[in-house]
Structure formats: structure tokens, C-alpha cells
Amino acid sequence: MALTEKTRPYETLIRHNPDGSIGAHHQTITEILRDKVVIQGSLNDPIPLNVADGKDGLNLSKVLGEALAEVINDNGKLSSQLGEMSSQLEVLVGQLGETRARAENLDAIIADNANQVSAKDEVISDLRSQIELLKIQVAALAEPMPEAK
């Protein structure tokens, strides 16, 4: 369980003042991580950014360049993840098609079996009717015959 401390850019704010001037500040956040998972974070004081060379503070173009580099890096990672997820989606869509085809096949088998059961039920019903007729005939044969006069 490794604890690490990391300071990273949090926010860059650019203000357009009523007099037409531009003001800006940059704020970082310091995070405490346990096994690469943030467990605590605290915002650091904002640092003024100079918007023109020769002013005190951080250089706006440098901060924006660093932010852009992070955005490009994150974009690359996200594009890679998107490609992987798209591939996974294609596999899942293929599996879904196969599963649907199997389900349709099973539906056809179930319908065929239901038809066979219905046909056999009719045969059984006919056989029961024949048994009842045979019972009547056997009962008639079992009765004594009237004597001839």
C-alpha cells in the first residue's frame, strides 16, 4: 500500500476586464494517492498568470502549452480506449446475432415439437374413443345370448 503525493493542474481562469485588459490565474491541486487512487486532495493558492511578457507570475502560454499537451495525451488514451471498445462492441454484436439465430432456431424446434404433441394428442384421443367402443363391444359379447325357441 504505497502512498504518493502528486500536484497537477486544476484550473486556469482567464478574465476579460471592463477596461479591455486581460487577467488570469492558474490553480493546482495536490492529491494524496494510495495505490494510484486519490484518497485526499487540496487546492493550492491561485498563481497569477502574466498575459504579456515581462510581467510577474507564470507565463500563460507555457501553462496553456502544458494543458494542451495533457489534453493531447488524454485524447490519445481515450482514442485508444474507444478503438478497443469499438472492437469489443463488434464482437458483442456478432455474438448477439449468433444468439438471436440460435433463439430463432430453438423457437422453430419448439413450434415443431408443439405440433407433434398436438398430433399425438389427437391420436391418443382417437385411441381412447376406439377403446371405449371396444369395451362396449366386449360387454355386448359377454352378455348371454337369448335361447332360441
For residues 44 and 102, membership in a common domain is answered with no
For residues 33 and 67, membership in a common domain is answered with no
For residues 36 and 69, membership in a common domain is answered with no
Q: Tell me the pTM.
A: 0.47
For residues 73 and 117, membership in a common domain is answered with yes
Q: Along the 149 residues of the chain, how does pLDDT read in single tens digits? A: 789 999 988 998 888 889 888 788 889 999 999 998 999 999 999 988 876 555 556 677 777 788 888 889 999 999 999 999 999 999 999 999 999 999 999 999 999 999 999 999 999 999 999 999 999 999 888 887 777 66
For residues 67 and 48, membership in a common domain is answered with no
* Secondary structure string (H, E, C) spanning 89-124: HHHHHHHHHHHHHHHHHHHHHHHHHHHHHHHHHHHH
For residues 42 and 75, membership in a common domain is answered with no
Check: CB of residue 27 under 8 Å from CB of residue 43. yes
The pLDDT score that the predictor gives to residue 21 is 81
Domain extent, residue 11, equals 1-56
